[in-house]
Amino acid sequence: MIPVIFGLSGLAITAEERSFFASANPAGYILFKRNIETRAQVRALTDDLRALSGRDDLPILIDQEGGRVARMRAPEWPEFPAGPAFDALYERAPISGIEAARVNAQGIALMLAEVGITVDCLPLLDVAQPDTTEAIACRTLGSEPMRVAAMGRAMLDGLQRGGVVGVVKHMPGHGRAIVDTHHHLPTVTASDAELETDLAPFIALKDAPMGMTSHIVFEAWDPERPATLSPIIVQEIIRKRIGFDGLLMTDDIDMKALSGSAGDKAAGAIAAGCDIVLDCWARMPEMEEIAGRSSAISDVSRARLDRAMATIAGAVPQGDLADLIAKRDALLAVV
C-alpha cells in the first residue's frame, strides 16, 4: 500500500484506472461531484473500490461540509447548512448550538454511510479572523477557540454515531490566511504567542482520528515552507505542541499554494512527516508520477490509518435522517 489517497475521473472506475489502482494499491480514494449522480451509482462505485482493494475498511473520503462545500446535492440528497449557522445559534444558546452541530453531522454521516462513504473531511477547526479569506470564512464555526472546539467535538461525535470517520482541518490553522490556497500561497506573520489562538481547538481535539494540513507559510515557525511541506510544523507543532497522533493527511497537493511537480510535492509532504498525500484530480500522468515516487506506507502511518478506521469498524449507523434534520431545523429556528 502506498501512502496516497487518489481521486477518480468519473461515475465509475475506468479500465485504465482499474489497472493502475490494482498495481499502485493506494491507501484510499476521495470522491467529488464528478463522481456522484445517484444513490445507486455511488453505492456501486464504493462497492467496486472496496472489491478492487480487497479491504472492507477502505477509506473512501468526501468533502461534505454543508453550504458551498458539498459534493452530494439536491435533489438527490438534502442540503445541509455550513458552520456559521451553528456559530450563530451558539451565540444565542450554546447548548443548542452544540446539539445542532452534533445532529447535523450525524445526519450527514447517515447520508454518506448509505452509499458506502466512510470518511468526511469535517469539521473545520479554523478560528475565524476579521480578514479571513472568504474561502474559509463562509465555513468556520466562529472566532472563539473553545466555541469552535466544542462544536467541532460535537461534529466528530455525530459523524461517528452515523458510521463515518471525521477529519479535523486545516492544521495548524487556516483562519489567518487572507488568500485562497486553491489559487495562492498565504503567508501568516502572526507571532508564536498570537498563534496560540489558532492551535487551541486542535489541542482540545488532539485525539481526533484524522487530521488535514494547511498549505500556509507561518513565519513564526518556518518562513521557508508551507505547513504541509515543513518538518518543523508537522513534527514540532502538530505532533508535539498540539499533541496530535492521529492520521495526518495533506490538503489536496494540486492546490496552487504548492509549487513543483506532483511527485515532488508528494515526496516532500511524506518527508515532512505527513502520513498520507491527498491527490484529488485523477490526472493519470500525475498519479503515475506520485506512485512512482512513493514507497510503501510506513508501519507507524499504517497503524494510525488502521486505528482511525477501527473507530467505525462494525458500527451500525444510528438515527433516522429525517428525524435528525427536523431536530436540527427546530434548534436553528431560534435564530
* Residue numbers annotated as active site: 182, 251
DSSP 225: S
**Beta-bridge partner residues of 28:** 5
CA quadruple 257, 171, 188, 192: dihedral sign: negative
The backbone torsions φ and ψ at residue 166, rounded to the nearest 5 degrees and listed phi first, read: -95, 160
Residues 60 and 26: their CA atoms lie apart, in Å, by 11
Name the residue type at position 106. Answer: Q
What's at 267, amino acid-wise?
A: A
Tell me the pairing of strands 119-120 and 165-171. Answer: parallel
Q: Which amino acid is at 204?
A: A
Q: Give the SS3 label for residue 301.
A: helix
Residue with cell 444558546: 93
N- to C-terminal Cα separation, the chain: 48
> If residue 201 lies in a helix (H) or strand (E), which one and from where to where?
helix 196-204
Find out whether 287 and 6 touch, Cβ atoms under 8 Å: yes
Closest CA to 118 of 293, 275, 309: 309
Instruction: Please tell me whether the peptide bond between 123 and the residue prior to it is cis, using omega within 30 degrees of 0.
Output: yes
Cis ω before 75 (30° cut-off from 0): yes
**Residue with grid cell 479491504, as numbered in its chain:** 55
Cell digits of residue 146: 473553545
Residue with cell 452534533: 102
